[in-house]
Amino acid sequence: MTSPSLTSQTDIPSLANVSDIPYITENGDLPEQLQGKIGVYAIFDENKVLQLVGYSRDIYLTLKQHLVRQPQKCYWVKTQTISRPDRTLLENIRDAWIKENGSIPAGNATDEAKWNHPIDTKSAMTEEEKASYSAQDGLGQVKLLKKVARRVEEEIVEQLKSRGVQTEIRFNPKLKESGLLDLK
């Protein structure tokens, strides 16, 4: 389970001493005990290799967003909650965990955008779609971007279903017009 809430800088736990929990429960949900919790989280892949250390005002919602963006890299999570917002404390825990890891996880370095920004579905366009996009006007481009975004959304939903995810996933429909996918 998660560690007890921290209230001061002096009690930063070692990442190694924090228990990991499955990213997806046996029921196909994300860890509901993290809903509305403020804290630091460390995400690990299937082989328990650290992928990202971050902090959030609602760990549950943030984990849901990361799962959609990087479903193949979210298998285990360690968390440390705090009782009230304190950016300095959160950053100190995050930095201590990254330092303890011995190297900066890809999600905090080269893959930061993949973890923290909406999915840009334009990169999933086929050559035919790219040519069609270039040849069209504004409305035609919007329609094509929505079509590509819906296709990528279906692929993500299928990946999540194959992992047994039952949690409702709803994408922001307005962003699809720009070829972006992000949770609503």
What is the distance between the alpha carbons of residues 24 and 30, in angstroms, rounded to a whole number? 5
pLDDT tens sequence across 104-119: 999 999 999 999 999 9
Q: How high is the pLDDT of residue 11? A: 79
Mean pLDDT of the chain: 94
pLDDT of residue 10: 61
Give the least confident one: 5-9, 38-42, 63-67, 179-183.
Answer: 5-9
**Domain edges within the chain:** 3-116, 119-181
Question: At 9, is the pLDDT very low, low, confident or very high (cuts 50, 70, 90)?
Answer: low
